[in-house]
């Protein structure tokens, strides 16, 4: 997995790329806030791509803001859940809150990203049919 953070003053984005498709269902982002200009983002958009480079699709998410860790400075974890998607690319686009403090503007401090995959299992069977000519044979009673 690799992450890319382009230098931009518009909408900062972080892109994760995988060598093989991942079945993703949740992202947890940790936001830093301080007494100077670091604030919670005004908007967070999550996107995924099947090929990791094009055809980015915006995810519909449920946001759960967790309890802030510490006073000032502090870190606030926010969990974003969504329907499972198969992706080789995952992108986070952040927008600042837009606060103007006179001599500075607000910024977003992202300290950690955790991406979660779906845990799957296979059903265990105890019988099978062996197909031979001219008719199938049931091996479950043998």
Structure tokens at 20: 């093989």
Mean pLDDT, residues 21-34 taken together: 95
Task: Convert the pLDDT of each residue in 95-123 to its tens digit.
Answer: 988 888 888 888 899 999 999 999 877 77
State the Cα–Cα distance between residues 19 and 35, nearest whole angstrom.
40
Task: Compute the half-sphere exposure of residue 28: CA atoms within 13 Å on the CB side of its CA.
Answer: 8
Looking at every residue in the chain, the average pLDDT score rounds to 85
Residue with tokens 């199938």: 136
Position 8 scores a pLDDT of 47
Position 29 scores a pLDDT of 97
Position 139 scores a pLDDT of 57
Position 136 scores a pLDDT of 56
Q: What pairing do the DSSP bridges indicate for beta strands 43-49 and 2-4?
A: unpaired
State the Cα–Cα distance between residues 113 and 41, nearest whole angstrom.
14
Structure tokens at 73: 């400075």
Task: Convert the pLDDT of each residue in 66-91 to its tens digit.
Answer: 888 877 789 999 999 999 999 999 99
Task: Convert the pLDDT of each residue in 31-68 to its tens digit.
Answer: 999 988 889 999 999 999 999 999 999 999 999 998 88
């Amino acid at each position: 997995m690799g992450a890319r953070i382009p230098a931009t003053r518009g909408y900062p984005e972080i892109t994760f790329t995988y060598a093989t498709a991942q079945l993703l269902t949740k992202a947890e982002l940790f936001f830093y806030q301080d007494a100077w200009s670091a604030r919670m983002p005004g908007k967070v958009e999550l996107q995924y791509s099947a090929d990791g480079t094009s055809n980015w699709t915006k995810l519909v998410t449920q946001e759960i803001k967790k309890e802030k860790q510490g006073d000032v400075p502090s870190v606030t974890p926010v969990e974003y859940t969504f329907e499972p998607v198969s992706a080789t690319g995952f992108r986070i686009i952040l927008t600042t809150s837009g606060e103007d403090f006179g001599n500075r503007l607000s910024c977003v401090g992202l300290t950690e990203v955790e991406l979660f995959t779906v845990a799957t299992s296979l059903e265990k069977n105890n019988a099978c049919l062996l197909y031979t000519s001219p008719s199938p044979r049931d091996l479950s009673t043998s």
